[in-house]
Amino acid sequence: MSSRVFFILFIILLYSGGETIIAQEKAVNPQYTFKKGDPNGIGKWYMGREIAAVMSYRGMGWLERDSRPTEENTALLLANMNLNPGEVIADIGAGSGYHVMKIAPKVSQGLVYAVDIQEEMLDAINDKLKDQGINNVKTIEGSPQYTGLPENSLDKILMVDVYHEFEYPAEMMASIKNALKANGRIYLVEYRGEDPNVPIKRVHKMTLDQAVRELEAAGFKLLENKSNLPLQHFMVFGEK
């Protein structure tokens, strides 16, 4: 077989394989649809919402910006969680560990799981843990479909401005449900999609109605929506 013929066959197999994968995903997960949308989205939709692209680790500086405590009232966000010393907490989409480093001292007799899909983010967290001598945090590299968290182990789960970026929200919520204790709580924090004055790209915001619709589909119910943060919804969910 000539090298030219081999190359042509390789290209045909490469592209037909890609189409097969897309077709299989659509068949296995009919709740997802695919169409062009926002330039900051991934062209994949769930329950009428386009999924946003994941913020790269290169944006780590924005997560650690000096203005964040004032802009988001991050101290009040954590106060809303009513943390107790012996609790086991997971921060899913922990990024550079901004909230993890503040949660860890509040659950000094417990454990914090810092979950992210980007190795660079987890490296940044591990460096902070070493520098500050914090020993009750465990980092986990999850996947787009799986948290990697132990089954029935968590009292509380925090997700700050990350759920809208889940490439597989249905699968991720199933994994989260598996890791949460029966009386556990999910704290979902998202920039308010109803408010055009919140200075965040549209696809990176969520409305309360959309969030409730999606988490109800995953087997959770809204227990409370605190409206005390400047820019974000603070939604509390428990199992139905």
Greatest alpha-carbon span in the chain: 69
Give the model confidence (pLDDT) of 20-47 as tens digits. 334 444 445 779 999 999 999 999 999 9
- Residues of the chain scoring pLDDT < 70: 1-28
53-239 CATH fold: Rossmann fold (3.40.50)
- In the chain, where the domains are located: 3-46, 53-239
Rounded distance, CA 104 to CA 107, Å?
Answer: 5
pTM here?
0.88
